[in-house]
Amino acid sequence: MILVTGATGFLGSELVRQLYAQGKRVRALKRESSVIPDTLKSIPQIEWFDSDLLDYFSLEKAFAGISHVYHCAATISFQPSDKKKMIRVNEEGTAYVVDLCMEHGVEKLVHVSSVAALGDPKNGNAVNEKSFWEFDGSQHGYSISKYESEMEVWRGIAEGLNAVIVNPSIIIGKNAGTQGSGQIFDMARKGSKFYTDGVCGMADVEDVARAMILLMEADVRSERFILNSENIAFKTVFETVAHALGTKTPNIRARPWLLSIAWRLTRLAGFFTGKKYGLTKDTAHSASKQTSYSSEKFLRFFPDFRFKPVKESIKEWIIENGQLTGDN
């Protein structure tokens, strides 16, 4: 039987859906308070199991009879107040998963990391699997938590665990809604006037899940793989959504100094209102950062694999969450 942690999340739920479609037996791990996505509610064959990553003993029960594990669960936040808890959940939770995989003789683990756990590009080249992370004090909490989580998996590999790590770029898809990566598209749909100079990598959630299954079933171990469809400017993303919806494209460049002022103002506002705003020091920095990622290594292992173009993913999100009114 296959265990999927974080099964109610954006990636985890898509992975469970694909595994079920292939006739696999799946035990889906979730927190007691988590809501099962509509896409999975109608599948009675899925075995749901309530547990918390930091509750070792309840987690241990979930491993009974498990042969393969996909570790998708993680806390994602760019709020300074969430940093310590996020690092603990992601690092310590992964350590528990790694230990239990070894204790229960799990045949293989596929761990979901992030491009945030990789180093910065050198000499203008795209980031690849050899771009090692070097702490210099500028990394945000999520980056630190994913790097330290990876270190737990490498520790397990050194102790004999058969494991593979995937480093997806920003995961997008039609079911992203208006949270997480869906916020980018939702801002464009609402007709944001501002754009940044940022460039990022994006990959469709269906492709990421499909790649993970391929890696689980392939004779590949002790490797990490970047999963990235293409590198794209945030401005291009906004323009693509605006064009499809027939709305105005952003025409005001939000320079880094302007974003610096904006995140300080939102932090001040949050101090008085108690609300958490999406614009933080870390998100403002990311919005202006120009970083490209390479999936060359993964495509060498799987030359027939084809990533869905970002424009197609955007169109699917619009159909699911909005209405196409422009040319497409």
Q: What is the CATH number of the domain that holds 124?
A: 3.40.50.720
Beta strands (DSSP E) in the chain are 2-5, 26-30, 47-50, 68-71, 108-112, 163-168, 170-172, 194-195, 199-204, 223-227, 230-233, 252-253
Classify residue 318: in a domain, yes or no. Answer: no
Domains held by the chain: number: 1
Which whole number is the average pLDDT over 235-244? 83
Reported as a single tens digit per residue, the pLDDT across 105-128 is: 999 999 999 998 898 777 778 999
Q: For the whole model, what pTM was predicted? A: 0.87
Q: How confident is the model at residue 142, as a pLDDT?
A: 81
Q: How confident is the model at residue 76, as a pLDDT?
A: 77
Which whole number is the average pLDDT over 232-255? 78
Classify residue 136: in a domain, yes or no. Answer: yes
Q: What are phi and psi of 153, to 5 degrees?
A: -70, -40
Classify residue 247: in a domain, yes or no. Answer: no
Classify residue 240: in a domain, yes or no. Answer: no
Structure tokens at 1: 């039987």
Classify residue 149: in a domain, yes or no. Answer: yes
Classify residue 235: in a domain, yes or no. Answer: no
CA 230/CA 306 separation, integer angstroms: 11
Residue 302's domain comprises: 2-176+201-229+292-308
- Greater confidence (279 vs 192) lies with 192
Classify residue 165: in a domain, yes or no. Answer: yes
Classify residue 221: in a domain, yes or no. Answer: yes
